[in-house]
Amino acid sequence: MDTAKAMNILAAAHRLDPGIHIREFKLPLNADATAVPLIAVPTTAGTGSEVTRFTVVTDTVNNEKMLISGLAALPVAAIVDFELTMTVPPRVTADTGLDAFVHALEAFVSRRANAHSDLFARSGLSLIGHHLRRAYAEPGDRLAREAMMLGATHAGIACSIAPVALVHAMARPIGAHFHVSHGMSNAMMLPVVTEYSLPSALDKYAEASRIAGFARSEMDDETASRTLVEMLQRLNRELSVPSPRNYGISPTEWQRLLPLMADQALASSSPYNNPRIPARGDIVALYQASYG
Ligand SMILES: [Fe+2]
């Protein structure tokens, strides 16, 4: 879907300037012209790209995942059918499902959240929080697959209104440098970034934890939000998400690239949507804490 979006943007641009590169369109520029009407048909319950105004393209020259945004990246229609996900293997179900969960959570706690994004974020948190483990363990479970598909699309709408934050900002460089899948790199960063961000949006994290079925309704905000971090760690174990170390990334490579990764995370502008806005040193420390 993201490739089709990028091709559509480039095809329109090439009519005016045949030499233009997709790199020219990365944020903060807005891509607003398309060549053809685009209809998106997702085959995973994940990115929500069928309903977002974003496309992510890897710049293989600079090892950077570029965020390209604008109405040109928003499909004119989406056909969302969970039956297309019935044969998705467990690893892809886990990685894409975790990505969708992060969309719902980051939209919900985002500094740019509003009543509309909250509506879709709550739906995404509930549907994904209650069904991801079942879709992973029982791939043929139609109810779990349907809930995940709807949850991923709602999470996509939520994060198209209230864009993603620090988890995505820090995950993109891991994907670009070490070729970790998008959802898995998000999941690697999710527990440490959530723990770091809690104090700045305790009530929202606590509510997210209750909606996702992680915390019980009678828990106070402190306990419910702490439970969220514990459950995210547990979810990673249950869905076999490795730490960067266990993924096979060497400690010397990790250390060598940390400064560049921190710069790239900050440059994406997503950290400024986070409830707690990190200094560059915080980002380096969080990368170190996540290494495992
Ligand atoms: Fe994502």
> What secondary structure does DSSP assign to the chain, as a single string?
-HHHHHHHHHHHHHTT-TT--GGGGBTTSBP---SS--EE--SSSS--GGG-SEEEEEETTTTEEEEEESGGGS-SEE---GGGGTT--HHHHHHHHHHHHHHHHHHHH-TT--HHHHHHHHHHHHHHHHHHHHHHH-TT-HHHHHHHHHHHHHHHHHHHHS---HHHHHHHHHHHHH---HHHHHHHHHHHHHHHHGGGSHHHHHHHHHHTTSS-TTS-HHHHHHHHHHHHHHHHHHTTPPPHHHHT--HHHHHHHHHHHHHHHHHTSGGGGSSSPPPHHHHHHHHHHH--
d(CA 82, CA 94) in angstroms, rounded, equals 15
pLDDT above 90 for 144:
yes
Prior bond of 259 cis (ω within 30°): no
CA of 147 to the centre of ligand 1 (A): 18
CA of 91 to the centre of ligand 1 (A): 16
User: CATH homologous superfamily for 91-290?
Assistant: Dehydroquinate synthase-like - alpha domain (1.20.1090.10)
pLDDT digits (tens, 9 = 90+) for 238-255: 999 999 999 999 999 999
Over its C-alpha atoms, the chain yields an Rg (Å, rounded) of: 18
- Can you give the residue ranges of every domain in the chain? 2-78, 91-290
Cβ-based neighbours of 267, under 8 Å, separated by 6 or more? none
Least Cα distance to 152 among 214, 88, 205 occurs for 88
pLDDT above 90 for 89:
yes
Q: Compute, in degrees rounded to 10, the torsion defined by CA atoms 51, 54, 60, 62.
A: -160
Cβ-based neighbours of 218, under 8 Å, separated by 6 or more? none
Low-confidence winner among 187-196, 232-241, 267-276 (lowest mean pLDDT): 267-276
pLDDT above 90 for 229:
yes
pLDDT digits (tens, 9 = 90+) for 201-210: 999 999 999 9
Tokens 């760690």, residue? 233
Angle between helices 115-137 and 90-109 (to 10 degrees): 160
pTM for this entry: 0.95
CA of 172 to the centre of ligand 1 (A): 9
pLDDT above 90 for 27:
no
CA of 187 to the centre of ligand 1 (A): 10
Average pLDDT, the chain: 96
CA of 65 to the centre of ligand 1 (A): 12
Confidence of residue 269 (pLDDT cuts 50, 70, 90): confident
CA of 167 to the centre of ligand 1 (A): 9
pLDDT digits (tens, 9 = 90+) for 114-136: 999 999 999 999 999 999 999 99
d(CA 5, CA 71) in angstroms, rounded, equals 10
Class of 2-78 per CATH? alpha beta
CA of 101 to the centre of ligand 1 (A): 9
pLDDT of residue 145: 98
CA of 97 to the centre of ligand 1 (A): 10
CA of 218 to the centre of ligand 1 (A): 31
CA of 166 to the centre of ligand 1 (A): 11
d(CA 264, CA 285) in angstroms, rounded, equals 15
pLDDT above 90 for 28:
no
pLDDT digits (tens, 9 = 90+) for 46-65: 999 999 999 999 888 988 88
pLDDT of residue 139: 97
d(CA 130, CA 122) in angstroms, rounded, equals 12
Alpha carbon 140 to its chain's center: 25
Confidence of residue 234 (pLDDT cuts 50, 70, 90): very high
Confidence of residue 38 (pLDDT cuts 50, 70, 90): very high
CA of 270 to the centre of ligand 1 (A): 12
CA of 15 to the centre of ligand 1 (A): 31
Angle between helices 166-178 and 280-290 (to 10 degrees): 60
CA of 154 to the centre of ligand 1 (A): 13
CA of 271 to the centre of ligand 1 (A): 14
d(CA 188, CA 133) in angstroms, rounded, equals 17
